[in-house]
């Protein structure tokens, strides 16, 4: 325990004699003992010391009272006056002024050297530092044991217990432990995890943790970084399973066994939720924790999209929840979900519906009945990009060279069910102008929009161009 003024004065080996203000003084720990014979020692004091002097320069009442005032201004805890050299006893002016300003004053007899006082204080400070380090080491050990024995939440509970105040932790803007930190009266401490996750530790009050908080920061950082690496690894493995399933390269019992291996019951009904983030934030999806309360869900990375396997019927609620979570995390993204289907093939249907829904382009995209077009767009062995380039690049090149609107005309013609009159009205053109443009499209692309098979080809090409 740190040495206090009462403890110093009660030391039997020092024979110090209290004079004024000692009984009424607050028993704060002493930081050190400073010895001085300067008339004004203020520049050399930090506050919290016991100031020791023999009063060599204090020959007058003015110098004696001035020295006491300087000591008070410097914030010393007490004044020790050595007698037997310059003064046979403590000057009356010093005693009177110390009493007036409330400065504790004690006499240091001739037989007690000042070094004996500083030695006792040094020994007490050293013992206190050792005890503090032992307490800190014990605190570190308890934090590490809590983390190893139970994980992040036991660690944070142990930290709060040791600090005796509430502790909260947020990541990606979501609270993952503790109460909601108030705007005022809470200390915020950033935690570096190697991710752009705004991970922050909040402590109620502003007191320092004495080295405990810094150690907790490092433990939290290591734990969250480890979780992120493990999450990324699991999502890569699960993503390969879902990729093979959706592409049809694995079926039947083999597909069921692989789904079971990543924690998906193959015969139960499920819904697929997809998250598509704007680059470059799409890279965060591989390590992004699922929203609080959904940590146990199976998630995977499929073609730079985060896929989450949900229970049947949970799609709409989950999509709303994920959209809000992503917004709070600062990740611009679109969320979609498919219908609920049972069996292995049901996951494929739900995935295709979720992919189709993403094309709507909204923040939250609800599924609709899946179409042959969407199935073709989801198929990787169909060369739709090549088809789109072959059919549409001549049109886009012509538009760029001549300032024409062949692509716009084609899109409106297909959207409006091939009605020349309706297209002319929508674009503010004469019908003959529309017919002329359609002939140009046929000549340049090799596909006649008025011919049903060619119209299907052009529709697929436009759809593929929109997706890719």
Give me the residue spans of the domains in the chain.
3-120, 136-219, 231-376, 382-465
Task: Give the separation between CA 382 and CA 396, rounded to whole angstroms.
Answer: 23
Q: How many CA atoms lie within 13 A of 113 on its CB side?
A: 3
Task: Give the separation between CA 228 and CA 194, rounded to whole angstroms.
Answer: 10
Per-residue pLDDT of the chain (468 residues; tens, 9 = 90+): 578 888 899 999 999 999 988 776 667 788 889 999 999 999 999 988 999 999 998 999 999 999 999 999 999 999 999 999 989 999 999 999 999 999 999 999 999 999 999 999 999 888 888 888 888 889 899 999 999 999 999 999 999 999 989 999 999 989 999 998 876 788 889 999 988 899 999 998 876 666 888 999 999 999 999 999 999 999 999 999 999 988 888 888 999 999 999 999 988 999 999 999 988 778 899 999 999 889 888 999 998 999 999 998 899 999 999 999 999 999 999 999 998 888 888 888 889 889 888 888 899 999 876 555 555 555 555 566 777 788 889 999 999 999 999 999 999 998 888 889 998 999 999 999 999 999 999 999 888 998 888 888 888 888 777 655
Task: Give the separation between CA 2 and CA 139, rounded to whole angstroms.
Answer: 20
What are the helix and strand counts (H, E) for the chain?
15, 14
346: which residues sit within 8 A by CB, 6+ positions away? 269, 270, 340
pTM: 0.62
CB neighbours of residue 440 within 10 Å = 18
431-445 helix and 406-415 helix, angle to the nearest 10 degrees = 100
Sign of the torsion formed by the C-alpha atoms of 138, 143, 148 and 149: positive
- Strand pairing category for 364-365 and 333-337: parallel
Task: Give the separation between CA 363 and CA 331, rounded to whole angstroms.
Answer: 12
Same fold, 3-120 and 382-465: no
112: which residues sit within 8 A by CB, 6+ positions away? 14, 15, 16
| CATH number 1.10.645.10 is the correct assignment for the domain at 382-465 | no
> Which CATH code for domain 3-120?
3.40.1390.20
Integer angstrom CA distances of residue 437 from 39, 47, 147, 383, 447? 102, 90, 70, 27, 13
Give residue 209's pLDDT.
62
CB neighbours of residue 339 within 10 Å = 21
Task: Give the separation between CA 377 and CA 14, rounded to whole angstroms.
Answer: 92
Segment 218-222 long-range contacts (CB within 8 Å, at least 24 positions apart) = 219/143, 219/144, 219/147, 219/155, 220/152, 220/155, 220/156, 220/169, 220/191, 221/191, 221/192, 221/193
* Cα angle 136, 140, 143; round to 5: 140
CB neighbours of residue 44 within 10 Å = 11
Give residue 25's pLDDT.
62
For residue 241 the two structure tokens come to 């399973």
Judged by phi (left if over 0) then psi (alpha if -120 to 50, else beta), residue 256 lies in alpha
Q: Shortest CA distance to 55 belongs to which of 45, 43, 41? A: 41
Order across the sheet with 105-108: list the strands.
17-20, 105-108, 78-82, 49-53, 32-35
ω into 139 cis (within 30 of 0): no
287: which residues sit within 8 A by CB, 6+ positions away? 195, 228, 229, 231, 232
Give residue 382's pLDDT.
53
Query: What backbone torsions phi and psi does residue 298 show, to the nearest 5 degrees?
Result: -85, 125
3-state secondary structure of 190: strand
DSSP 66-105: HHHHHHHHHT-SEEEEE-SSS-SS--HHHHHHHHHHT--E
Q: How many CA atoms lie within 13 A of 219 on its CB side?
A: 25
| 8 A C-beta contact, residue 155 and residue 201 | no
Q: Shortest CA distance to 95 belongs to which of 60, 73, 65, 124? A: 65
* Start-to-end Cα distance in the chain: 71
């Amino acid at each position: 325990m740190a040495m206090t003024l009462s403890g110093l004065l009660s030391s039997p080996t020092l024979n110090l004699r209290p004079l004024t203000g000692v009984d009424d003084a607050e028993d704060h720990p002493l930081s050190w003992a400073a010895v001085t014979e300067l008339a004004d020692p203020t520049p050399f004091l930090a506050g919290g010391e016991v100031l020791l002097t023999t009063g060599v320069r204090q020959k007058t009442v003015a110098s004696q009272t001035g020295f006491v005032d300087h000591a008070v201004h410097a914030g010393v805890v007490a004044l020790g006056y050595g007698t037997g050299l310059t003064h046979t006893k403590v000057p009356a002016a010093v005693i009177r002024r110390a009493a007036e300003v409330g400065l504790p004053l004690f006499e240091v007899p001739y037989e007690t050297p000042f070094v004996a006082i500083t030695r006792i204080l040094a020994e007490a400070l050293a013992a206190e530092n050792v005890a503090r380090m032992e307490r800190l080491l014990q605190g570190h050990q308890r934090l590490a044991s809590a983390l190893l024995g139970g994980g992040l939440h036991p660690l944070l509970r142990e930290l709060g217990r040791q600090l005796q105040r509430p502790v909260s932790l947020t990541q990606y803007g979501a609270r993952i432990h503790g109460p909601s930190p108030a705007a005022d009266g809470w200390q915020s401490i950033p935690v570096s995890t190697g991710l752009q996750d705004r991970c922050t530790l909040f402590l109620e009050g502003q007191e320092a943790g004495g080295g405990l908080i810094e150690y907790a920061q490092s433990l939290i950082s290591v734990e969250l970084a480890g979780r992120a690496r493990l999450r990324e690894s699991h999502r890569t493995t699960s993503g390969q399973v879902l990729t093979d399933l959706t592409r049809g390269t694995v079926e039947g019992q083999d597909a069921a066994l692989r789904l079971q291996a990543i924690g998906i019951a193959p015969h139960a009904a499920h819904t697929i939720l997809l998250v598509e983030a704007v680059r470059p934030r799409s890279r965060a999806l591989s390590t992004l924790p699922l929203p609080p309360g959904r940590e146990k869900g199976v998630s995977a990375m499929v073609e730079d999209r985060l896929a989450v396997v949900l229970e049947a019927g949970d799609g709409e609620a989950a999509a709303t929840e994920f959209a809000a979570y992503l917004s709070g995390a600062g990740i611009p993204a679109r969320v979609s979900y498919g219908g609920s289907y049972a069996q292995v093939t049901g996951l494929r249907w739900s995935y295709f519906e979720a992919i189709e829904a993403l094309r709507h382009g909204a923040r939250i995209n609800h599924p609709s009945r899946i179409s042959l077009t969407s199935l073709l767009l989801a198929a990787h062995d169909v060369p739709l990009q090549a088809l789109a380039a072959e059919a549409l690049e001549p049109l886009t090149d012509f538009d760029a060279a001549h300032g024409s609107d062949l692509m716009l005309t084609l899109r409106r013609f297909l959207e409006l069910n091939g009605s020349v009159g309706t297209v002319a009205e929508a674009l503010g053109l004469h019908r003959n102008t529309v017919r002329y443009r359609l002939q140009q499209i046929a000549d340049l692309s090799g596909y006649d929009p008025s011919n049903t098979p060619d119209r299907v080809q052009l529709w697929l090409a436009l759809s593929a161009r929109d997706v890719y």
